[in-house]
Structure formats: C-alpha cells, structure tokens
Amino acid sequence: MARAPWFFAFLVLLVPLYGERVTVPLDGTWQIDESVSADDRPSGFTHTVPVPGLANLASPPFADVDRFDSRELIENRVRRKMLPESARVQTVGIPRQARNYFWYRRAFRVPARKQTAILRINKAQFGTAAWLNGVKLGEHFGCFTASYFDATKAVRWNAENELIVRVGAHPAALPATVPAGTDFEKLKWTPGIYDSVSLQLADNPVIETVQVAPDIHTSSILVETVVRSHGAAAKTALKFAVRTWPDNRVVAISDAPAVSVVANGAATARTRIRIPGAQLWSPEHPFLYTLEASTSGDSVTTRFGMREFRFDTPTRRAYLNGRPYFLRGSNITLHRFFEDPNCGRLPWDRAWVRKLLVDIPKKMHWNSFRFCIGPVPDFWMDYADEAGLLIQNEFFIWTGRNMPDTWRQWSTDELIAEYKEYMRDNWNHPSQALWDACNESEAAVLGEKVIPAVRGLDLSNRPWENGYNTPSGPDDPIEDHPYLFGNAAFQMSNLETMTGGTSTNSGQPTAHAAFINEYGWVWLNRDGTPTLLTENVYKRLVGADATPEKRFLYNAYWLAGLTEFWRAHRNFAGVLHFVYLTASFPGAFTSDHFHDVSRLELEPHFVDYVGEAFKPLGVYTNFWREELTANAPRTFAVMMVNDHDSPRKGTLRLTLEDARGQVAASTERPFELNPLGAHTWHLTLSVPALEGGYTLKATAASGSEVPTVSRRMVRVMRAK
C-alpha cells in the first residue's frame, strides 16, 4: 500500500533517536616540529601549521621542507641528458633535507562520553603514526587514503587531550615496499596532513562503512553496512532513511533485520531500499540524495546519486544511465600544484575550489575530469558531486614501461590494501565514475592480482582503466595520449588526412572503448614562456623571437583544433585535455592555462578558442592550409557532432572575414543532427580577389543556443 508523505516524515523522526554519532572536528592550527629519528619526538614545538595543509605552510618556515629527487625524476633527467648515466638510483629517491619526520601536535576536549572513539585522518603523507595522551594508536602507510585509529582506551573524557601525529618528511621515510607516489615530472615532494582530521564518538555497535549502490532500473539502492563492536558481542537492528539533498525531504525509510556482532568483531548486512520515482544524477542534472544509517549506538549519513556509468566494448562508447554519453573535460594534477609557488592554502579554500570545479567547468562546457597522479581532499569530491562532474580518479602511480624494479619492490599485499581503501573512501560519490589504476605504466600485477582482488568490492561495478596494461575486464576502456606535437615532423595540416582511428598506446586499433585524457604537447608557462618539454615546438612553429601573446594565441588555436578533430571523428568515447590545473615555474615540464591562478583567471585566448571547441554542438573545419588562392572557388569539409541527447537543427554558415571582421565571402546551408549524431557537410566559398590575412569561420546556429564557431587563420594569395 502506498504511504502518504506525512507517514514517512513521521516515522523518520525515530531514526536520529536510535543511535547518534558525535564528530569532533580537529582541523585548524596545529603545532609542528621535526626530527631525524622516528622515535625522537621533539621536546618542544616551535612552529605552527594549518591542518589540512602542507608542512611548507609552517610558520616560521622549515628549510628545504620539500626537497626530494625521486627515482623517476632522476631517470627522466638521465634520459634527457640532464644527468649522467651514473646518476640512476635503485632507492625511491634522494632526500635533500636534514630530517626524516615531521611531528604534529594539538590539544582538544570532547563534548560527550561514548563507548568508542575513532580517530580519522583523511589523508596524510608520507606515512602516518598517531599517539593520544602518550598512547600509540598505530601506524598507516597509505599516502592517498584515510587512516583510522581506535582511540577509545586513550581518550580523556573529562580532561584535555594531547594528540600527536607523525608523518614522513619525504617518500624515503616509508619502506620501499610501499607506494608513496611516482611521477617523472614532479620536482618537490611536500609532506603534511593534507585532508581533514576528526574524532568520531559513538556507542557500540558502530558503523564502520556504508556503501550505497544505486540501481536505476529498479529505482532502488543496495546498501552494504559493516557494523563493528569494539567490545562485547552485540545485536542491533539497522534503520535507514533516504532524503533529498539539500532540502532534506524524506523519500524512503527502511528497517533491516537485526544484525549480530561477535565480541570485538564485525558483521556485514545488505539491505535493498526502494526509492519510488527516483531522480537520476547526471552532469546536466546532478540530483543528490542522502542516506542515514543507524544502529542502536551509532548513525552515519552519506550522500549518493542515482546513476549508472559504464563502457561498452561492442559499441566502443561510454554509457550514462543507459544512454551513450560523450565525455568532454580536462585534468587536474593537484599534487603537482602543491609545488606551485602560488599554491599556498588555495586547495583548502572552499570558495576557490568551488569556482575551480563548479563555475569554470560549466563555462568551458566540461562534464568530466581526471584527477591525475594524486588524490584530492575529500570535499573536492563533494563539489564534483554537486557540479555534476564524472571523475576518473587515478591512483598515484606512474612508472612508464621501463622501470620494473619499482613494481618488484612494492608489496602486492600493500597495493591491494591501499586500492581497497581508495575504493572505500570514494565509492558513494556519484562523480566517481571510473577507477584508474595507474598512469602510463606497464605492470602485469595490476591486471593479474590487484584489480581482480578489489573489483568485487564495488557494488556499482564501475569500470577500471589500467594504463599501458591490457584492460582487466571485458568492457573496461583504454586511455589514449596522442601527443602529436611531440613528433617534430607534425604539422596541423596532417590532420586533414587523419581520422584518429589507432591507439597511440599500442599503435593498433583497439576493440575496447577508448578515450583521450591527454593530448597537445604545447604547454606554456603562465608568463607565456615555453615549458621544458615545448621549447623546440615553439621555436619550430612560431619562431624563437615570438612574443608571449603570439605563443598564447597559437597555444589556444592548436588545442582548439585538436579538440575539434578528436571529437569530430567519433573514434573516442571522450576527449579530456591536459592540463587544467598544475604547477607553473621556470623548469616545469608542463603548465596550465591560468593567467592568475590565485584568482582563477584563465588565459583569454584559451577561453575563447578551447571553450568553443568543447561545446556540445561541435564544429570542425577540416582545413589547415595557411594559404587560399585568390579569386577562386574552394570547397571545405565541415564536420559536426551533437553531444546532446536530443536532435539539433539550424544553419551552418561558412565565411571569410578580413582583419576588421568584415565578411568578404560567405555561404550557408541548413543542418540537422540526430541525438548524439555526427555528419560532414561540404560547403563551397568564392575566395575574394583581395590578398591578405583572413579568418575562415564555420558557425553553427541552433535555435536560441549560443552558436558554435570553428576558426582557421588563412592568407589569401595570388595563384603562383
């Protein structure tokens, strides 16, 4: 029998009264000091530091706080002849500082007495150990996942508590068997507690984890709850309430059968909850729900979205909520941004992060990101949920094809443990669309042991991407990094005869769905100077004496053209450019497109050209010659794509405009595109007799939508 809304509202009042968790936030200003030995706790703390944050934000500052040359960076410099062959190392790297550890300290009081107290440190590097009131709570090696410590026996319920947290000062502070992050282009490795810290107080039995797996086909969720007793055996019912977010409207309640938990043990229960008429989550409609789960002693609230994301090998497409869906987006390498001179406290400034993840992506027509080689603080994923971004969340491993010693040193058991934690920390986020095992790495252990060991933990069965390795599952995708400008012979005119039908990772067509999440190789520092990797590109194509303004113009022009090209040929399920946010400084390998990163002001040419190239209604002019013959007809192929889930029709206009913006030649025709469709039209222009510089412009206008424009720089010349 259907229940009236007041019935749910009445019953749900029982849920908070069943069990209650008290969370004590421990973010803020901590004390910090250093040591060489792991056992040498400082006698006094003479510096302060923000938590969350990094140790390079300490006041007064520490000398050489993030100086560390990783094995991968040394290898990269040897390959580039910047270091001799003898510089290679077999260790994880070489510390360039006179310390091995940082020690964090803070005092706090608890507001309530409960049967259990669990310390949670969301993320810290490099390796974490914790003491409460002089009692060691434990150690955690993971640098990218949350650590939990049972503090029940050490907490002072009616007095001040002293919490000490020790982190490694550099990756070499961890055992060689533990992955601490690998990156061939990262120059600084900054330690710190870079995500939130809290103490969670509850009565037994406590909820250890909750996983929500949506089923859009039955309008229901499967909830897996792990319940633990830190003490005597217990028996408890489980109560659930589902509400809309943020208006907190009750849409479902459920009571599960009683769960029995053995003394100092755990039990797992699965409960299916119907959500009548559930609204689906998508980038276009990021609708969110909350689930509150309660035992007799504890309660946890988590957010989720009703969505299904997968790839399909037969069609080589991505599917969102049962429909083909094309990814458009970019990359964020936050752990490289940590070394940026302007980084400071920006990654923890919520207004800055909201603009970065919510406001700007909408203007750039992006629906997806890869969080590349390094995780983000938890609240970034919250904002991605709210913004409607599909996130490819990449584990911090990049070892390339030729560094097997790294994989032989790492413990497979440790890898499996950390990948499990990485999934646990993210599996309720609807923005978490794709598990990414590594970046550009060749290691059989991932596909043979690690992914099979953890894949089944995700009740939503999200796809996995596996670097240079064979896809682990039959419908897993591959990523492609077609850095065409990395070839010294490449010219944009080469695109006229290309289709992008082969994978640059394998050199062969792939049966699996493929998506591009890196391309370009035309990076510029924020001051307009080429990066370490692109000096020769700009010398060859725009001249050694080119101004920063000219380089910025061509950077945006090329990136927009490549974006149009990859999208137009529809060989890829998604196109994500590299890179939206990273570090920029003299000697950096790559850079982003911010004119002012503190204010998040993008370089204007990038916004103008690349913003057009990512519009859902895409236009690509397949013409890259620099010259047109004066006073002669010319036919141009104009390719269009429609990423919308509904048809588009309108007018396609092709013009030649002079330097003043005056139209010197034009033609137009109607167009019509099916939902998610693509088509190529051939339009003929009468090239004017007047010589000079022109802009060839293809403009697609559909209804009241802002038109999409594809531009080419050309010069009209007399016939030779």
Q: What is the pLDDT of residues 320-329, one digit of tens each?
A: 999 999 999 9
Residue 220, domain member (yes or no): yes
- Assess whether 70 and 194 both reside in one domain: yes
Per-residue burial over 342-379, b = 16 or more CB atoms within 10 Å of its CB, e = otherwise: ebeebbbeeebbbebbbebbeebbbbbbbbbbbbbbbb
In total, how many domains does the chain have? 4
**Is there a contact between 605 and 711 (Cβ–Cβ < 8 Å)?**
no
User: Which residues constitute the domain of residue 221?
Assistant: 5-18+203-307
680 pLDDT exceeds 60? Answer: yes
Phi, psi for residue 539 in degrees, rounded to 5:
-60, -40
- Assess whether 151 and 28 both reside in one domain: yes
pLDDT at residue number 404: 78
Residue 46, domain member (yes or no): yes
Q: What is the CATH number of the domain that holds 37?
A: 2.60.120.260
Q: 51 to each of 120, 326, 644, how far by Cα in Å? A: 13, 38, 43
Last residue of a domain, one of 170, 202, 234: 202
Last residue of a domain, one of 307, 337, 353: 307
Q: What is the pLDDT of residues 194-208, one digit of tens each?
A: 999 999 999 999 999
- Assess whether 456 and 542 both reside in one domain: yes
Residue 181, domain member (yes or no): yes
Is residue 402 very low, low, confident or very high in pLDDT (cuts 50, 70, 90)? confident
- Assess whether 288 and 413 both reside in one domain: no
Is residue 501 very low, low, confident or very high in pLDDT (cuts 50, 70, 90)? confident
Q: What is the pLDDT of residues 237-259, one digit of tens each?
A: 999 999 999 999 999 999 998 99
pLDDT at residue number 508: 55
- Assess whether 330 and 472 both reside in one domain: yes
Residue 568, domain member (yes or no): no
pLDDT at residue number 403: 81
Q: What is the pLDDT of residues 101-125, one digit of tens each?
A: 999 999 999 999 999 999 999 999 9
346 pLDDT exceeds 70? Answer: yes
Q: What is the CATH number of the domain that holds 689?
A: 2.60.40.10
- Assess whether 198 and 219 both reside in one domain: no
The stretch 436-441 carries a mean pLDDT of: 96
Using CA atoms, how far apart are residues 394 and 439, in angstroms rounded to an integer?
7
Residue 559, domain member (yes or no): no
- Assess whether 475 and 344 both reside in one domain: yes
- Assess whether 182 and 327 both reside in one domain: no
Q: Which SS3 state, helix, strand or coil, does residue 309 take?
A: strand
The stretch 400-422 carries a mean pLDDT of: 91
For helices 548-568 and 604-613, angle between their N-to-C axes, nearest 10 degrees = 10
The stretch 695-705 carries a mean pLDDT of: 97
Last residue of a domain, one of 253, 279, 307: 307
Residue 318, domain member (yes or no): no
Q: What is the CATH number of the domain that holds 469?
A: 3.20.20.80
Instruction: Return the percentage of the chain with pLDDT > 70, whole number.
Output: 97
Q: Which of 487-496, 508-517, 562-571, 623-632 has the lowest mean pLDDT?
A: 508-517
- Assess whether 384 and 519 both reside in one domain: yes
Residue 378, domain member (yes or no): yes
9 pLDDT exceeds 60? Answer: no
Is residue 407 very low, low, confident or very high in pLDDT (cuts 50, 70, 90)? confident
